[in-house]
Amino acid sequence: MKEIKGPGIFLAQFAGNDAPYNSLDNICKWASEQGFKGIQMPSWDARLFNLELAAESDDYCQEVQGTMAQYGLTLTELSTHLQGQLVAVHPAYDAMFDGFAPAEVHGNPTARTEWAVKQMHMAAKASGRFGLKSHASFSGALLWQTMYPWPQRPAGLVELGFEELGKRWLPILDAFDEAGCDVCYELHPGEDLHDGVTFERFLEATNNHTRANILYDPSHFVLQQLDYLAFIDIYHERIRAFHVKDAEFNPSGRSGVYGGYQAWIDRPGRFRSLGDGQIDFKSIFSKLTQYDFDGWAVMEWECCMKHPENGAQEGAIFINDHLIRPTDKAFDDFADTGADDELNKAILGLK
């Protein structure tokens, strides 16, 4: 068995304009002081990282790694969640998703998609320069607005949607293959890839591309009421990245899975800081260890209640306490009688 690495932290929810969250050096020092050993980098945040430069320059990549190394940190993955989202956007969401792209492509969906695809290709090159094996992203969505089957979906709609999604992602997946890196899609409501079945549809649409893999985040499965432990049993061969994020689901007589358009604090399903929700992380870490997952356990903080600084401090400890050092021997080795072919035959009554 292999050992999960950690604790890591996804910086997207922490980056800001005030110290210590406003530069790579400052935020690395802060993350190290909280007890983290790995950084998952939001590639779109210019306060911390320059994706275009990373795609072109080994010197810049070495500079980034050197800054992290000063504080005992490793780059776990690059993230293109925002850019990946824009690879496929239904027109109903144009206005809301324009904010993920630069102002010069706002109001121009074609230009916005081209920008996003270019960003993904740069991320592939940058991942290769860093020697990364996994990359975190979203799939985008052409079909999400039809998630609930009313009005009834026309025959062939879903198949066509996944066919188009596959066409858009295949060249990107090929670019990541050249870089020796897996694209790990976070299966997430709002994406066409949001559960196991939709991931399977995507695999079919991309000819079972070896670089199409999964960022496992159980919090999104709790909110969908999906069995997040059985999911690992089914899809462990494709799980190549891991967000450690807690959640809870408390249905009421007034609101359920869809949440009633309420604020996060009032929804039945809501994200919590590590240890404050309902997720069985002991079983998750056990299953991932059993299946030889040796990637990073990366905390993603999105709690609707607790302050992020406390969430980070507690999160590093929480992950560290759940990491499993795999055993190199069986517990009953003390009673081993050794290998003896003649004895085995005697036990079986073969002589």
Crossing angle for the helix pair 228-235 and 196-205, nearest 10 degrees?
30
What per-residue confidence (pLDDT) applies to 154? 97
What per-residue confidence (pLDDT) applies to 49? 98
What per-residue confidence (pLDDT) applies to 15? 98
Nearest to 38 by CA among 15, 68, 79, 70: 68
Dihedral angle of Cα 188, 90, 184, 211, to the nearest 10 degrees: 140
Nearest to 174 by CA among 136, 125, 232: 125
What per-residue confidence (pLDDT) applies to 330? 82
Longest dimension (CA), the chain: 84
Summarize pLDDT for 36-46 with one digit per residue, the tens: 999 999 999 99
- pTM of the shown model: 0.96
Q: Which domains can be identified in the chain, with CATH numbers?
A: 5-347 (3.20.20.150)
What per-residue confidence (pLDDT) applies to 95? 97
pLDDT-flagged residues of the chain (< 70)? none
Nearest to 135 by CA among 121, 149, 152, 147: 121
List of residues 6+ apart from 40 with CB closer than 8 A: 8, 9, 10, 11, 76, 77, 78, 79, 136, 296, 298
What per-residue confidence (pLDDT) applies to 97? 98
Crossing angle for the helix pair 24-34 and 308-322, nearest 10 degrees?
60
Crossing angle for the helix pair 58-70 and 24-34, nearest 10 degrees?
40
In angstroms, the CA 268 to CA 296 distance is 30
Measured over the CA atoms of residue 194, residue 192, residue 144 and residue 265, the dihedral's sign is positive
What per-residue confidence (pLDDT) applies to 338? 78
What per-residue confidence (pLDDT) applies to 342? 86
What per-residue confidence (pLDDT) applies to 332? 79
Which structure tokens are listed for 252?
């009421």
Phi and psi torsions of 39, nearest 5°:
-125, 125
CB 48 within 8 A of CB 76: no
